[in-house]
Amino acid sequence: MKLSFVLATAISSFFVSSTTGFGFSGQAQALTFTGISNATWGNPTPGLSDTNPIYTGVGSNTFTWGQANLSAGLPNKLTSNGTSFSADINSVFKIADLTYFNGKIVPDTGIEFVPLNLNVSFSPPVGISQVFDLNLRLVNTPNDLKDPEKSADLVFLDTNSSNRSFTFGSNKYILELTGFNLDGRQISIKAFEEATTTTAIYAKIKNIPEPAPVVGLSLLGIYLISRKNFWKKKY
């Protein structure tokens, strides 16, 4: 085998692979994702002080927690509804609606974390369905009759939740949560005592590029091995 032929083959293969990779990348950038989401709540996790956690709604779109401290009172409640969407790569879009009611509850009957499972059905050409796990942290503050601001409770969105990647064709993607508003700067919401806050959860879909240099390094390795064998035979 001639050394020049090996080198030419490696270089040619590298450029073909690179061009193909760029082609796939271009297709991914041009893709528009459309579909619909459906939201259900998972099993919650109590905090250290929640010695008697009370909750309802696992497997449904409405979740309540805590025991109302008055006979006529209501517990805390989260309601999430899915939505239809249409989004290009890296564009922010609404993936679900969220309503939060802050009730007055007995302190040790609350919880600290609750997962929200988003079942996303992508329309053709993607045509797949996948469940993405979100995680919400619930902060129940002690009530202060003199200061409504201090009595407000909070819900935090964990933007680093796992299980949000999927594959279409030869490309991998990730559903990245951005927050409770379009610019991605708000990751928490609050509600005053016995009041309701309505918001939305926003996300964007990003392409996970394949590491193109790996192809080049592999071909370079083939060339170097062939070169070594060539010189061994010659001498």
Q: What is the DSSP letter of 143?
A: P
Tens digit of each residue's pLDDT (9 = 90 or more) over 80-128? 999 999 999 999 999 999 999 999 999 899 999 999 999 999 999 999 9
Number of helical (H) and strand (E) elements in the chain, helices listed first:
3, 13
Closest CA to 41 of 19, 21, 61: 61
For residue 56, name the pLDDT band (cuts at 50, 70, 90): very high
Q: Which pLDDT score, from 0 to 100, does residue 24 have?
A: 42
In contact, 24 and 16? CB cutoff 8 Å: no
Taken in order 181, 147, 106, 68, is the CA torsion positive or negative?
Answer: negative
Residues 6+ apart with CB under 8 A from 195: 101, 102
* 43: pLDDT strictly greater than 50: yes
Q: Which pLDDT score, from 0 to 100, does residue 222 have?
A: 52
pTM: 0.76
